[in-house]
Chain A
Amino acid sequence: MSEFLQQLLNGLSLGAIYALIALGYTMVYGVLRFINFAHSDVFMVGAFIGYYLGKLVPENIVWGGLVVLLAAMLGCALLGMIIERLAYRPLRGAATLNVLITAIGVSLLLEYSGQVFFGATPRTFPAVFPSGNYSFGSLVISSNQILVIVVAALLMVALQLIVYRTKIGTAMRAVSLNPKAAQLVGVNNDVVISFTFGLGSALAGAGGILYALNYPSIDPLMGVMPGLKAFVAAVLGGIGNIPGAALGGLLLGTVETFVNGSQWSTYKDAIAFAILIIILLFRPAGLLGKFTVEKV
């Protein structure tokens, strides 16, 4: 029983990070109907911003950690907006496939310029937050795991509030529903799309820091696998749906952890992805997604 609870805890903290990254995929998809493959590399840049800043602030102090976290989110938001402005905006209105290929190009550009600027060698991420382990009976939880779950939950609530309770959130939903009609009623699409990229990238930046805190060895290709998993999580939950991405992330993290702790650990990715295929066979729009007929 205690092993089960421990694995559940491990799975939730891994899933919370997937969920944070998945939110970025799903938001951009919701508004623009395309997958921003460069998202996972923004996640990597977030971790590296934390790495360089972490050396400047004193270690093991809460405010130092918060400064690093906020700075990484801000840096990534800027990066996301710049990518959108330079790479995606000129292609607005072009075929989806063109934008998709551009996204893959931007992703590779970030990965390999990362290798040039940061070096390909894995770096040790500094312990910016004070860390400790708490045990409840045989159950052990590290402060970093708690931090991941708390920060992820807070950011998801904040996101939900922004999307449903603010003016810019209403504009985002309007653009998502019908970009032309939104423009007709006075929504500035460029600003809204730029904001969406900024917001999604900020979440990726936060994800990067939280991931690096838990797995303190970072390198320019660190975003590839978590990015792929988060993308799967977003599809699993129903792409374009914010609670769906969170649910998908948590589910994928938990399943992966349970398989990993069993005797079939060799097949962990195979089993995780097989579950995805099965769910999509029965619910093609994902767990929380609504199936809509494409308008022609």
Chain B
Amino acid sequence: MISASRPFIQLIASVLVTTTALLTSSGCNRQPDTIKLGEFASMTGKEAVFGQNVNKGTRLAIEESNVAGGVLGRTLELITEDDQSKPGESATVVKKLISRDKVVVILGEITSGRTLEAAPIAQAAKIPLISPGATNTEVTAKGNYIFRVCFIDDFQGTVMAKFARDTLKLKRVAILSSVSSAQSVGLAKYFRERFTSASTAIAAEQKYSEGDKDFRAQLTAIKAAGADGIFVPGYYAEAALICKQARDLGLTLPLLGVDGWESPDLLAIAGDAAEGCYLSTHFSPESKAPVVVAFNERYQKRWGISANALSVLGYDATMLAIDAIRRAGSTDGAKIRDALAATKDYPAVTGAITFDAHRNPTKNAVVLLVKNGKFTFVQDVAP
């Protein structure tokens, strides 16, 4: 028995020794000469346009920083994970980024729902997370490691409510919001609070879920309520079909959208139906500010297409992360967090960033109009 098992033990021992040797040697090779940044984005799926645009901005930021010599004398490495626009997937890929790839900062996500899902994981691991576009108020309340470079829905809802009441002179606006999007629920609430006044009222309030294709029932009810405008806080996939079906039902009123509408797909799917609709967003590429013009040129040169709010926010979030690592002088999560929290007047493309106590920046919003199949600039709104 004993003699029989000895070769076996030897085998195990030799395997163990080899494995350890391999592990240590590969460990030596992987001596971190790069600083890893983790990005999670909807590269495929329903909101693929969002993820792909953000990713282009993020990659441009990484490439530019590396050309300029990296940070702390080391090269930056971006690891992008796809969350497939699905609930549940963000948590999985962010866990992977933190535990397997050992990233020092998490970048993402553009949507509030998926950022809310990932935030507690980043917070628990004490890895700073910077969202380029999660506007839901709750996001940064998840913990002191969670930041964002965009305005919040409280402000966005107010902008659209004021625009509808004061600029468009609408009296009875209906709300058609998504029950399954954190951003949509929040925006509907702020819009309702800010729009209602002595002479103006919410005509009707209807709901849908992400992934719905048929909105005729809700739109028919809105039509019957005699609305003169519809506020649709949602993403482009549903918004495009809502525009189309509203026009099919003979509704000629303006539809009011939010930053989630901004995608070439909205124009492609809705076609003429989107004409005359307004939306609020973070940035207009038509802006004449020198920093925006210079960015547009670099972006156009790198990707051959023009920049939009999503790609600019991706760029800003990444540049801010790199700047914070430089100021922290370290890749330690807590030090980067402190540097981020101390950010003051950081010159981002979408406007200067100074974080308040809740790690939210104060920034302007722009209102765009869909005209001749394009998003055109209407006005700039300061908080």
Instruction: Point out residues on A near B: beta carbons under 8 Å.
Output: 2-3, 6-7, 10-11, 14, 115, 119-122, 124, 133, 135, 140, 142, 144, 211, 214-217, 219, 222, 225, 256-263, 265-266
Contacts and interface: CB of A to CB of B under 8 A. Distances in A.
Contacts of B268: 124
Contacts of A258: 217
**When A and B form their complex, which 9 residue pairs have the shortest distance between CB atoms, in order from nearest?**
A260-B217, A261-B217, A215-B213, A120-B44, A3-B224, A10-B216, A261-B221, A121-B48, A257-B217
Contacts of A215: 213-214, 241
14 contacts: A6-B224, A10-B214, A115-B44, A124-B268, A133-B250, A135-B250, A140-B250, A142-B248, A144-B248, A214-B214, A217-B237, A260-B208, A261-B217, A265-B208
Given A14-B214, A222-B213, 11 more contacts: A11-B217, A121-B44, A122-B237, A124-B265, A142-B248, A215-B213, A216-B244, A219-B46, A257-B214, A263-B205, A265-B217
Contacts of A14: 214, 216
Nearest to A135: B250
Contacts of A7: 217, 220-221
A225 B211 contact: yes
A265 B206 contact: yes
Contacts of B224: 2-3, 6
Contact of B240 (A121, A133, A214, A217): A217
B287 to A, nearest CB: 28
A142 B48 CA distance: 30
Nearest to B84: A120
B45 interface: yes
Nearest to A13: B216
Interface residues of B, number: 33
Contact of B221 (A216, A219, A262): A262
Nearest to B216: A10
Nearest to A14: B214
Interface in B249-291: 249-250, 265, 268-269
B218 A260 contact: yes
B211 A261 contact: no
Contacts, number: 88
Contacts of A144: 248
Nearest to A226: B213
A122 B221 contact: no
A124 B217 contact: no
B241 A217 contact: yes
B21 to A, nearest CB: 40
A44 to B, nearest CB: 13
Given A120-B45, A121-B45, A266 B179 contact: yes
Most B C-beta atoms less than 10 A away, residue of A2, A3, A140, A144: A140
B207 A133 contact: no
Contacts of A266: 179, 207
Contacts of B49: 121
Contacts of B211: 225
Contact of A122 (B179, B218, B220, B265): B265
